[in-house]
Amino acid sequence: MGMGVEDIVYQKNNISDLTLEAKSNYFDYLHKTRGRGFASDKEAWAELKAVLESIDKRNTAVKKLHKEIWETITENNEDSFSAYIGELERTAYVLAVELLELAAMADMAAAGREI
């Protein structure tokens, strides 16, 4: 039996809460490691751009893996399927971390140049 609407909403709210907590923790980590906010809007823009470029590359890799997974399904290749699924999981995890980094950096830029 499938999940009801309430179950889905509950799970999404839990994931949202965990994501906000993770972003907040990443914000704190950035502040501790940097020792300051961004020195200027230009610095914020440049650092956000670097993270965005990495996210784009990782997202392209996820899409490629998804396509390769379909090919293993159509070829009934269970060994390759398992390998690609494992790689997709690892790549998606890193992508999620990079997205949290982007959100924390944007939060830092919005908070002002000094925290």
Domain span holding position 83: 5-111
Q: Which residues of 56-90 are buried (b: 16+ CB within 10 A; e: fewer)?
A: eebeebbeebeebbeebeeeeeeeebeebeeebee
The model's confidence at residue 115, banded by pLDDT at 50, 70 and 90, is: very low
Higher pLDDT, 3 or 49: 49
Find the range with the poorest average confidence among 3-12, 84-93, 95-104. Answer: 3-12
Cα–Cα distance between 19 and 71 in angstroms, integer?
A: 32
* pLDDT-above-90 percentage for the chain: 49
Per the structure, the count of domains in the chain is 1
pLDDT at 1: 52
Average pLDDT over residues 65-93: 95
Find the range with the poorest average confidence among 26-35, 46-55, 57-66, 82-91. Answer: 26-35
Global pTM reads: 0.76
